[in-house]
Amino acid sequence: MSTIDKVTDIMRDLFEDYSGPITPAIAAKDVPDWDSLAHVKLMVQVERAFGIRFEAREVSQPQNVGELVALIDQKLAAKG
């Protein structure tokens, strides 16, 4: 399963009321329930699903799903 597919699954679970497409360009402003608390929950679920840890500064870094996927891939590559 690709990173974007796994992130999509996490987002579908977290944002149950959102039925629109999840593409790399989707940002918090595009998903009605994606507020600051939901963002933290998303990042925690991503950490668990991928077995990675974000630094505090990285939690707010991604501005859209594409940037989140890139950050995850970067963490996974560094993990080896």
Q: Where are the domains of the chain?
A: 3-79
Neighbours of 25 (CB within 10 A): 10
Mean pLDDT, consecutive 10-residue segments, the chain of 80 residues? Answer: 96 94 96 95 98 96 97 94
CATH hierarchy code of domain 3-79: 1.10.1200.10
The pLDDT value recorded for residue 79 is 87
Tokens of 17: 């009321």
Write down the pTM of the prediction: 0.94
C-alpha separations of 38 from 19, 31, 57, 76, 77 in Å = 16, 10, 17, 23, 26
Amino acid in the structure at residue 34: W
The pLDDT value recorded for residue 80 is 78
The pLDDT value recorded for residue 21 is 94
